[in-house]
């Protein structure tokens, strides 16, 4: 898991290189504030099959997220179309 929740902090770890971003909890909505902050810092969050992956702004990690996103898109596009009546 690349995100850990502690009594007083949230810790996000990059699934590519292991870099961590730590945020002290504070006030209502602090989790979403932390998510906004790591996205502002260039991190990408990818959801696949209900699991989340986090990638920092390192160029090698960005390449990893691009490959993962391409694989997800290919899998979705390969699914047969459904007929709606």
Query: pLDDT, tens digit, for every residue of 49-74?
Result: 788 888 988 888 888 777 777 887 88
User: What is the per-residue pLDDT for 85?
Assistant: 79
What span, in angstroms and rounded, lies between the C-alpha atoms of 62 and 48?
16
pTM over 0.75? The answer is no
Q: What angle do CA 13, 38, 66 make, to 5 degrees?
A: 75
Q: Is residue 84 domain-resident? A: no
Q: Is residue 31 domain-resident? A: yes
What confidence category does residue 12 fall into, taking pLDDT thresholds of 50, 70 and 90? Answer: very high
User: What is the per-residue pLDDT for 25?
Assistant: 82
First to last CA, the chain: 41
Q: Which domain holds residue 25?
A: 3-77
Domains held by the chain: number: 1
């Amino acid at each position: 898991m690349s995100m850990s929740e502690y009594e007083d902090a949230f810790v996000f770890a990059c699934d590519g290189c292991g870099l961590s971003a730590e945020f002290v909890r504070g006030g209502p909505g602090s989790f979403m504030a932390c998510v906004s902050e790591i996205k502002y810092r260039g991190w990408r969050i990818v959801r696949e099959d209900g699991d989340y992956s986090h990638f920092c702004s390192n160029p090698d990690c960005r390449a990893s997220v691009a490959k993962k996103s391409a694989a997800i898109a290919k899998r979705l596009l390969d699914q047969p179309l459904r007929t709606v009546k």
